């Protein structure tokens, strides 16, 4: 008899209709609300967010800060900003003088006169030094943060294995760095209606080989469907009724950064192919070296019934 279901931290009771638990990019399908501003950490947000969003936030902050200082210069009096190029309007002159001061470029075509304008420009120069130091740290943090780029096959296969069947999927390292001590875990989730509500059940699926030492090629991860498996005797229709989802956790040691990295993925009932087998995606060249074609990781062939 298989091990009793448990809750891995994704809740068992819920109402309404849910999509997949883990999105294709590895994030959890959870949108948080009710977070107070004092709980918001801008540094962590800028480290974790996407590159387009990160660059957009930096650009908006840069323009906003220069706009504020330009307004302050105009408030002090535009007459305290001496501009050698009279073609620009006072607003444009104040804005670009703020840009020159914040970035400490200081071209000299606009310069402050008077105590108030010089004090404000000194304050802005100090602000620019601190802000660019923070921006440099963020850029370094984003580039230096270790992360895994595990490539997953688009489909899982239920295919003959030894004297029965097995559930399989395939992974490869999408980068040239060396990963060692790679571990895999697979959870099987079902959704059933009970007592007028919906309940999730989770089962930890044992793997034929839960760990490999190296990942220079591909690794086909196999769950044998024997009498102890919660998938035993299940058909495609059964998995559809159960709204089955298979959640994957990959953990490895990145030899480049000497840190542990992880990747998450999931397969739904619609991403399972029955009666197929993965085809090899690496070969030996004329020099005896192995050549891996990661783009072919999804290739499979249907088995004759």
Average pLDDT over residues 157-166: 92
* Residues 156 and 286 occupy one common structural domain: yes
Confidence of residue 305 (pLDDT cuts 50, 70, 90): low
Residue 171 to residue 211: CA distance in whole angstroms:
13
Q: Distance (Å, rounded) from C-alpha 160 to C-alpha 275?
A: 7
Task: With both helix axes pointing from N to C terminus, report the angle between 90-102 and 51-76 in degrees, rounded to the nearest 10.
Answer: 120
More reliable by pLDDT, 245 or 25: 245
* pLDDT (average), residues 126-143: 91
Q: For residue 271, is it within any domain?
A: yes
Res 300: pLDDT: 94
Task: Kindly state the tokens that stand for 175.
Answer: 């980068």
* CA atoms 270, 219, 300, 164: torsion sign: negative
**The last residue of a domain, from among 144, 175, 206:** 144
* pLDDT computed for residue 16 by the predictor: 62
Let me know if residue 86 belongs to a domain: yes
pLDDT value, residue 78: 81
Q: How many CB atoms lie within 10 A of CB 50?
A: 9
Q: Does residue 169 sit in the same domain as residue 140?
A: no
Q: Tell me what percent of the residues of the chain surpass a pLDDT of 70.
A: 92
Shared domain check, 290 and 165: yes
Considering only CA atoms, which of 74, 75, 69 is closest in space to residue 89? Answer: 74
Q: Count Cβ atoms within 10 A of the Cβ of residue 222 and give its class: 0-12 exposed, 13-18 middle, 19 or more buried.
A: buried
Average pLDDT over residues 140-146: 85
Is residue 262 very low, low, confident or very high in pLDDT (cuts 50, 70, 90)?
very high
* 277 and 241 in a common domain: yes
Q: Decide if 132 contacts 139 (C-beta within 8 A).
A: no
Question: Does residue 217 contact residue 173 with C-beta atoms inside 8 Å?
Answer: no
Q: Which two tokens stand for residue 128?
A: 């620019």
Query: CATH number for the domain including 43?
Result: 1.10.287.70
pLDDT at position 17: 63
Per-residue pLDDT tens over the stretch 234-254: 999 999 999 999 999 999 999
Check whether 5 has a pLDDT greater than 60. no
* Judgement on whether residues 181 and 107 belong to the same structural domain of the protein: no
Categorize the per-residue pLDDT at 2 as very low, low, confident or very high, splitting at 50, 70 and 90.
very low
Strands 218-225 and 179-194 come out as unpaired
Q: What is the CATH number of the domain that holds 155?
A: 2.60.40.1400
Q: Are 134 and 168 contained in the same domain?
A: no
Domain boundary residue, one of 124, 144, 164: 144
Q: Measure the CA angle with vertex 33, ends 16 and 53; round to 5°.
A: 110
CB contact at 8 A, 102 and 128: yes
In this prediction, residues 274-279 reach a mean pLDDT of 94
Strand partners, 182: 212
Q: What is the mean pLDDT of the chain?
A: 88
The verdict on 169 and 106 lying in the same domain is: no
Residue 12 predicted with pLDDT over 70: no
At residue 15, does pLDDT exceed 70? no
Q: Is residue 178 domain-resident?
A: yes
In a domain? residue 228: yes
Q: Confidence class of residue 1 from pLDDT cuts 50, 70 and 90?
A: very low
Q: Spell out the alpha helix ranges (H) of the chain.
A: 42-48, 51-76, 90-102, 115-144, 236-241
Q: Specify whether 161 is located in the same domain as 260.
A: yes
Please check whether residue 29 is in contact with residue 23, taking contact to mean a CB–CB distance below 8 angstroms.
yes
Check whether residue 62 and residue 78 sit in a common domain: yes
Residues 169 and 84 in one domain: no
Q: What is the DSSP letter of 298?
A: T
Higher pLDDT, 153 or 38: 153
Residue 277 lies in a domain: yes
The answer to whether residue 83 is domain-embedded is yes
The distance in angstroms from the start CA to the end CA of the chain is: 30
Question: In total, how many domains does the chain have?
Answer: 2
Enclosing domain of residue 43: 37-144
Q: Is residue 25 part of a domain?
A: no
Mean pLDDT of 49-59: 92
What would the mean pLDDT of 289-297 be, rounded to a whole number? 92
């Amino acid at each position: 008899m298989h091990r009793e279901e448990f809750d891995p931290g994704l809740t068992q009771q819920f109402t309404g209709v849910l999509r997949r638990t883990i999105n294709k990019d590895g994030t959890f399908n959870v949108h948080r609300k009710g977070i107070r501003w004092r709980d918001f950490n801008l540094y962590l947000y800028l480290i974790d967010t996407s590159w387009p969003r990160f660059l957009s936030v930096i650009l908006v902050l840069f323009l906003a800060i220069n706009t504020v200082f330009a307004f302050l210069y105009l408030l002090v009096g535009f007459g305290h900003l001496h501009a050698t190029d009279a073609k620009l309007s006072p607003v444009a002159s104040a804005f670009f003088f703020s840009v020159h001061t914040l970035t400490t470029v200081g071209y000299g075509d606009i310069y402050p006169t008077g105590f108030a304008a010089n004090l404000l420009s000194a304050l802005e120069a100090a602000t620019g030094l601190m802000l660019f130091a923070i921006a440099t740290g963020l850029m370094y943090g984003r580039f230096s943060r270790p992360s895994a780029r595990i490539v997953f096959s688009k489909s899982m296969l239920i295919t003959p294995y030894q004297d029965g069947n097995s559930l399989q999927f395939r992974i490869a390292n999408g980068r040239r760095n060396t990963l060692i001590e790679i571990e895999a875990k697979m959870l099987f989730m079902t959704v059933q209606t009970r007592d007028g509500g919906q309940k999730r059940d989770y089962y930890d699926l044992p793997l034929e080989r839960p760990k490999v030492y190296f990942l220079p090629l591909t690794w086909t991860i196999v769950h044998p469907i024997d009498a102890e498996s919660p998938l035993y005797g299940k058909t495609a229709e059964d998995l559809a009724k159960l709204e089955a989802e298979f959640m994957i956790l990959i953990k490895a040691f990145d030899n480049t950064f000497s840190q542990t990295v992880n990747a998450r993925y999931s397969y739904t009932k619609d991403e399972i192919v029955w009666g197929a087998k993965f085809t090899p995606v690496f070969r030996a060249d004329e020099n005896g070296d192995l050549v891996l074609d990661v783009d072919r990781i999804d290739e499979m062939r249907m088995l004759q019934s």
